[in-house]
């Protein structure tokens, strides 16, 4: 998709309207401070290093959770997708567990792992696990059996078929799973960070609420949104590069 | 015959049952080196099943069958991997350092020397099927197994592909089992015809029409009528 400057008009107008309304006194600064004040807070917290520190803490939790949940999802999804035994043993419990709203597990998780770091990472891992599992499974299952057969007649061993047919064939679905996992991961992080904590964006927002620093609460929200946006952008770029064959007609 | 040449395919009593339905019922088949055998039959007669058994794609067949030498398969659909460029598709599973050179030669033989870098999605149906033939040829097969390879092509492309097949065969001398439901195609391309009916070879016909042949050589129509009758198709509109 090509960038069109016209698409900037409404966002800019909205921010300008927000600023105008705040300056005119229509919006109470305690309820919703103007963007300029949020930007000021961002600048201040960047300079004293606390924003960077909280951000890093949150990104670390997200990365660790995504890594654990994603790997588990990938491994179990591949087991269930590739092997009949794996399917019979792994898929039923996962399908059942999928119906549990994982964010509703917070009280149980607190009992199990406490309110510390493990809670946040577990929550992100849980959020990331299901989309990766489901899309790995579906990606493998949806591969055209006829292509696998053709590869067999070309003399490819089982391992080679995995590499040349199954893996690239499941790739589009894997990327979809990854994007959903990132979205679920960020959401889980936001929820997890509202529970206790001494650092992270969530902690920063909770603390600011206690001191009625609404601009920092808004800033936290914006940073969360930016993180989600950036990770999605990075994934899309990686996807476009990896799946260039899908745009066959444009590629060469 | 004084000395019988070694067969590329030897099959005795091949049977295949799908959930209580007997699709192949003790088929005997022998294909000699360099011989093109067309396998005809109504739909559901077991033609493709027999081909898949010989291709090693059916593990539940019973009976004895062996194929000697290298073999390659061309299906009705091109079955190219969409995520590999044309040349990579052709070279799939080809071992040895000369693979790129052999790939280039195979693509040249099917008239697509300059399309090696293309993605399969950029090709027309006829071109894709030619790549599928190149993918088979690069394996230097002693036996080509062809499952209605021209069946999905439009009429004009089909004629061109049949001519291409004739040229490739003259050059490489491979044996082939050609599954088809096109009577004229079978008569044009094969040395021998087999008619499969209810899981058995019902008829075997030698085609001694010479190569290259066209539909207007003497004797073509007589054979065509005979075949159509065997396939339970009226050859004349009044019948």
State the CATH number of the domain containing residue A148: 1.10.3720.10
Q: Is residue A98 part of a domain?
A: yes
pLDDT tens-digit profile of B5-41? 568 999 999 999 998 899 999 999 999 999 999 999 9
What burial letters (b/e) apply to B56-80, b meaning 16+ CB within 10 Å? ebeeebeeebebeeebbbbbbbbbb
Is B83 in contact with A153 (Cβ distance < 8 A)?
no
**What does the pLDDT read at residue B238?**
61
> Which domain range does residue A121 map to?
53-242
For range A129-155, the mean pLDDT: 96
Confidence band, pLDDT 50/70/90 cuts, at residue A197: confident
Instruction: Output the furthest CA–CA distance in chain A (Å, rounded).
Output: 75
Cβ atoms < 10 Å from Cβ of B108: 13
Q: Across the 239 residues of chain B, what is the mean pLDDT of every consecutive 10-residue run? A: 66 92 92 94 89 93 91 96 96 92 96 95 94 96 96 92 94 95 92 92 88 80 88 72
Shared domain check, B150 and B49:
yes
Domain count for chain B, please give it: 2
Q: Span A223-251, mean pLDDT?
A: 85
Helix/strand/coil percentages in chain B, nearest 5:
35, 25, 40
CB–CB of B89/A150 below 8 Å? no
- List the single best residue of A142, A146, A150, A164 to mutate versus B (max B Cβ within 10 A): A150
| Per-residue pLDDT tens digits for B49-68 | 999 999 999 999 999 999 98
Residue A40 lies in a domain: no
Mean pLDDT of A42-53: 95
Both B92 and B190 in one domain: the answer is no
Interface contact flag, B122 A152, Cβ < 8 Å: no
Q: Considering the domain boundaries, does residue B196 fall inside one?
A: yes
- Binary contact (B75, A156; C-beta < 8 A): no
Closest Cα in chain A, distance from residue B230 (Å): 31
How many distinct structural domains can be found in chain A?
1
Q: Kindly identify which residue of chain B lies nearest to residue A250, measuring between CA atoms.
A: B122
At residue A220, does pLDDT exceed 80? yes
Query: Which of chain B's residues have a Cβ under 8 Å away from the Cβ of A160?
Result: 93
Helix, strand or coil for residue A172?
helix
E-strand spans in chain B?
A: 7-18, 21-32, 36-41, 62-67, 71-74, 143-147, 175-179, 192-197, 200-206
Torsions phi, psi of A30, nearest 5? -75, -35
pTM: 0.85
Least confident of A2-16, A170-184, A220-234: A2-16
Phi, psi of B183 (to 5 degrees): -60, -45
Locate A89 and state its tokens.
Answer: 């043993």
pLDDT tens per residue across span A6-23: 999 999 999 999 999 999
Distance from CA of A140 to the nearest CA of B (A): 15
**pLDDT averaged over every residue in chain B:** 91
Task: Give the domain extent around B121.
Answer: 80-140
| CA atoms within 13 A of residue B156's CA, in its CB half-sphere | 0
pLDDT number for residue A30: 86
DSSP string, A103-145: GGGHHHHHHHH-SSHHHHHHHHHHHHHHHHHHHHHHHHHTS-H
**What number is the ipTM of this complex?**
0.89
B85-95 exposure pattern, b = at least 16 Cβ within 10 A, e = fewer: bbbebbbbbbe
For A194-243, give the DSSP string: TSS-SSSHHHHHHHHHHTT-HHHHHHHHHHHHHHHHHHHHHHHHHHHHHT
Tokens 């792992």, residue?
A113
The answer as to whether A48 is a domain residue is no
Query: Could you tell me the pLDDT band of residue A252, with boundaries at 50, 70 and 90?
Result: very low
Predicted pLDDT at B156: 93
Is residue A92 over pLDDT 50?
A: yes
CB–CB contact A155 B93 (8 Å): yes
End-to-end CA distance of chain B: 41
| Separation of first and last alpha carbons in chain A | 18
The whole-angstrom separation of Cα A176 and Cα B69 is 44
What pLDDT was estimated at residue B1? 41
Contact check, Cβ <8 Å, B139/A147: no
CA of B213 vs chain A CAs: smallest distance (Å) = 31
Specify the pLDDT at position B3.
47
- Write the DSSP assignment of B76-113 as a string of letters: SS----TTS-HHHHHTTT--STTHHHHHHHHHHHTT-G
Q: B114 and B43, same structural domain?
A: no
Taking CB atoms and an 8 Å cutoff, what residues of chain B touch A169? Answer: 83
CA distance A166 to chain B (A): 11
> How confident is the model at residue A1, as a pLDDT?
58
Query: What is the reported pLDDT for B174?
Result: 95
What is the percentage of chain A residues whose pLDDT exceeds 70?
97
Round to whole Å and give the CA distance between A6 and A4.
5
Is residue A166 less than 8 Å (CB to CB) from chain B? no
For residue B234, the SS3 value is coil
Overall average pLDDT of the A160-165 stretch: 96
| B11 and B116 belong to one structural domain | no
The answer as to whether A29 is a domain residue is no
Burial of A192 (0-12, 13-18, 19+ CB in 10 A): buried
In 3D, which of A123, A132, A130 has the Cα closest to residue A61? A123
Residue A149 at interface with chain B, using a CB cutoff of 8 Å: yes
Q: Is there a single domain that holds both residue B112 and residue B8?
A: no
Q: Is A198 on the interface with B (CB under 8 A)?
A: no
Residue B75 lies in a domain: no
How far is A41 from A54, CA to CA, in rounded Å? 14
Cα Rg of chain B (Å, integer) = 18
| Boundary of a domain, candidates B140, B171, B188 | B140
Interface residue B158 vs chain A (CB under 8 A): no
pLDDT of residue A249: 47
Residues B50 and B147 in one domain: yes
The answer to whether B185 and B162 have CB atoms below 8 angstroms apart is yes
- Residue B31's CATH number: 3.40.50.300
- B238 and B175 in a common domain: yes
């Amino acid at each position: 998709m090509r960038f069109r400057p016209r698409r900037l008009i409404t966002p800019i107008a909205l921010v300008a309207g927000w600023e105008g309304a705040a300056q005119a006194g229509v919006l109470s600064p305690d309820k919703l401070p103007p963007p300029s004040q949020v930007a000021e807070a961002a600048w201040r917290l960047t300079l004293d290093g606390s924003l960077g520190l909280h951000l890093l803490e949150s990104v670390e939790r997200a990365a660790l959770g995504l890594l654990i949940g994603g790997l588990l999802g990938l491994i179990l999804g591949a087991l269930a997708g590739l092997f009949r035994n794996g399917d019979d043993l792994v898929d039923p419990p996962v399908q059942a567990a999928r119906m549990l709203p994982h964010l509703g597990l917070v009280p149980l998780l607190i009992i199990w792992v406490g309110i510390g770091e493990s809670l946040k990472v577990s929550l992100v891992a849980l959020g990331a696990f299901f989309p990766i599992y489901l899309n790995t499974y579906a990606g493998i299952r949806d591969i055209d059996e006829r292509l696998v057969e053709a590869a067999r007649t070309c003399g490819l061993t089982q391992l080679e078929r995995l590499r040349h047919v199954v893996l690239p064939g499941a790739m589009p679905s894997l990327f979809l799973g990854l994007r959903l996992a990132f979205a679920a991961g960020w959401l889980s992080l936001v929820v997890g960070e509202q529970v206790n904590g001494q650092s992270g964006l969530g902690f920063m927002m909770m603390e600011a609420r206690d001191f009625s620093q609404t601009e920092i609460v808004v800033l936290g929200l914006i940073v969360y949104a930016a993180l989600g946006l950036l990770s999605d952008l990075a994934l899309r770029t990686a996807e476009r590069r990896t799946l260039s064959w899908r745009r066959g007609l444009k590629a060469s | 015959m004084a000395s019988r040449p070694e067969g590329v395919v030897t099959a005795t009593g091949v049977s295949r049952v799908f959930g209580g339905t007997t699709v192949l019922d003790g088929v005997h088949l022998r294909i000699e080196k360099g011989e093109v055998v067309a396998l005809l039959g109504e739909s559901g007669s077991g033609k493709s099943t027999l081909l898949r058994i010989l291709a090693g794609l059916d593990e539940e067949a019973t009976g004895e069958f062996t194929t000697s030498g290298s073999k390659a398969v061309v299906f009705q659909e091109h079955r190219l991997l969409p995520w590999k460029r044309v040349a990579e598709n052709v070279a799939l599973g080809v071992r040895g350092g000369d693979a790129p050179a052999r790939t280039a030669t195979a693509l040249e033989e099917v008239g697509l020397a300059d399309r090696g870098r293309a993605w399969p999605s950029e090709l027309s149906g006829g071109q894709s099927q030619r790549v599928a033939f190149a993918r088979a040829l690069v394996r230097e097969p002693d036996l080509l197994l062809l499952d209605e390879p021209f069946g999905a092509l439009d009429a004009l492309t089909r004629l061109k592909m049949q001519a291409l097949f004739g040229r490739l065969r003259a050059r490489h001398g491979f044996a082939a089992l050609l599954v088809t439901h096109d009577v004229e195609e079978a008569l044009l391309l094969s040395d021998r015809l087999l008619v499969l009916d209810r899981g058995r070879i019902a008829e075997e016909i030698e085609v001694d029409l010479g190569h290259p042949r066209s539909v207007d050589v003497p004797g073509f129509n007589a054979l065509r009528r005979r075949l159509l009758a065997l396939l339970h198709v009226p050859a004349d509109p009044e019948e």
